[in-house]
A and B are shown apart, each in its own frame.
Chain A
């Protein structure tokens, strides 16, 4: 691709990455969550495939496969955290510490990020799986039919 496209991609890349991370991280407060944020982030893979060609990203295939497993595994294990009470019990919520801050009173507030217990962690697990899953789909489609694919 031309210099213009490559330069613009370099500029957009960190912004898109940050936006994807924001959508994943704020999933429990604003519309979005693991799947949506993951899809946004995976679009970076599509951008890279278009600009640099799938062949240069071939090495990422194995990593995506592992990341996808790690994401799914993390989700199930997070659900297992609550098995003392019930499966999927949100044990971190309201327990103090990171992710366990008390939920503020109803009404206008700037958004209390660390109040949702295991939910943000699960969003990250789903996000990881979606990034890796959609990323490998895009990558495999670009490699499909090549001799060296």
Chain B
């Protein structure tokens, strides 16, 4: 199990490349292989999280070294590529693992053979490996490489339905934004490498003093990551991508966005935590978050494409996370800063569960009816009973209705934001109410009303995948304290006081 961090990345990679060859031999073998790879990855990923949460110390794995812990040479210089998983990385890893495993399981019965199931599954595994690498890596250049892996796999998946007109356009738009964001990150990495001759995050963090070049690098990194996350004003790719991608890919795309939030936290608190985590940066992120919430919710009101409607809901949730991160940076030393970070980090997994569930239901509707236009749908609740229940659950969780999980994390965000800035908090609460109106309208338009057509229910595999998310929504909503104490608090501590431990784990001493 000492190799668990790298195996959680390497196994899906291996699975992705072996899958097309297996598919040429036997299609059943391919499906079994995909399930097997998903299970093995899940085991190793959860083992990583278990080790980190149990020991409370960051886990370091050095690639190519005589032993996994030999991360520095004699002079104390970290020359090799390292993976560093602290509590925050482990938490983000759990989100990615959940999304990938559920997406893969859902895809088995969702994707049609003649549409290119083999390539879709292979790309999904590749995207999964990329996200896990993104949250586990402790090396800035590798971070960029994994960013590119996720970008390319994500864009190919968004354009999966090439025979329709809109998916290729969405894929192209996303590709342009991801490439631009990746370029900003690359330039930033280049600046830091030129300045300090190092790429190891821990080592860089030790050296960074806050010069003008450092500020430039921080700005570029923030810009690139916010583009990747889909914050306003760089949000326009997200509704297209979420709306047009096949459902099993959308949930992993949401996890991909969460990985960008994780990276934002890592950059602000760990990489630049010693010198540049100033309140100004916090206010910038918080205001961008609030604008994102408001703009996305207002745009959701006018949508008639169900996928795009929920996609704008997803973008607004991302705004809440940014708001929490911003408040966390503004009030880093104070109690409510910690509460904000708790809310923001907890909201990552809650958002994945509620938005993911909604997208999986939309995928099932699309598969059964062939359309997701609100004006042409109606009365589906008579036949799609399970789906309508899941949609309502996901919609209420998305809008933050107690006792579901969205309420637990949003309440923490409101409370702490109110102490930092009542105006931002008021906008956040108002947007949440508006979002409730939007999702209730969507539910009414799709599921209620007279029975209009006969459609068959979704296959059991897809229902099970949705059911898992529904269980998470309810359990996390009923017992938020349990999960916050065991998973979220360690992650917040890893950010606020854990920078020294992170540095010590990699550099020794």
A→B interface (CB under 8 Å) = 65-66, 69-70, 72-73, 76-77, 79-80, 82-83, 85-90
Contact = CB atoms under 8 A, between A and B. Distances in A.
A77 B14 CA distance: 8
B389 interface: no
Nearest to A76: B14
Given A73-B18, A73-B21, A86 B10 contact: no
A86 B3 contact: yes
B65 A76 contact: no
A87 B21 contact: no
B268 to A, nearest CB: 30
A59 to B, nearest CB: 16
Interface in B56-73: 61-68
Contact of A76 (B3, B17, B20, B66): B17
Interface of B: 3, 6-7, 10, 13-14, 17-18, 20-21, 24, 61-68, 81
B17 A86 contact: no
Given A83-B3, A87-B3, A87-B6, A69 B18 contact: yes
A73 B68 CA distance: 23
Given A77-B14, A87-B10, 16 more contacts: A65-B20, A66-B24, A69-B17, A69-B20, A69-B21, A72-B17, A73-B17, A76-B13, A76-B14, A79-B10, A86-B65, A87-B3, A87-B7, A87-B64, A89-B65, A89-B66
23 contacts: A66-B20, A66-B21, A66-B24, A69-B20, A69-B21, A70-B21, A72-B17, A73-B14, A76-B14, A76-B17, A80-B14, A85-B66, A86-B61, A86-B64, A86-B66, A86-B67, A86-B68, A87-B3, A87-B6, A87-B7, A87-B61, A87-B63, A89-B64
Contacts of B66: 85-86, 89
B20 A86 contact: no
Contact of B67 (A66, A70, A80, A85): A85
Contacts of A85: 65-67
Contacts of A79: 10
A85 B6 CA distance: 13
Given A76-B10, A83-B3, A88 B64 contact: yes
A129 B68 CA distance: 29
B88 to A, nearest CB: 23
Contacts of A73: 14, 17-18, 21
Contacts of A82: 64
Q: What are the nearest 5 A-B pairs in CB distance? A: A88-B64, A72-B17, A87-B6, A88-B63, A73-B17
A40 B66 CA distance: 35
B159 to A, nearest CB: 15
Contacts of A72: 17
Contacts of A76: 10, 13-14, 17
Nearest to A89: B64
A127 to B, nearest CB: 16
Contacts of A86: 3, 6, 61-68
Nearest to B83: A87
A83 B67 CA distance: 10
A66 B66 CA distance: 34
A66 B20 CA distance: 8
B119 to A, nearest CB: 10
A82 B6 CA distance: 12
B34 to A, nearest CB: 15
Contacts of B21: 66, 69-70, 73
B69 to A, nearest CB: 9
B176 to A, nearest CB: 19
Contacts of B10: 76, 79-80, 87
A66 B22 CA distance: 11
B469 to A, nearest CB: 31
Contacts of A80: 10, 14
A115 B252 CA distance: 42
A96 B485 CA distance: 54
Contacts of B14: 73, 76-77, 80
Contacts of A70: 21
B45 to A, nearest CB: 15
Contacts of A87: 3, 6-7, 10, 61, 63-64
A89 B81 CA distance: 12
Contacts of B20: 65-66, 69
Contacts of B64: 82, 86-90
Contacts of A89: 64-66
Nearest to B16: A72
Nearest to A77: B14
A116 B386 CA distance: 59
Contacts of B81: 88
A131 to B, nearest CB: 16
A70 B19 CA distance: 11
A99 to B, nearest CB: 16
A80 B10 CA distance: 9
A12 to B, nearest CB: 33
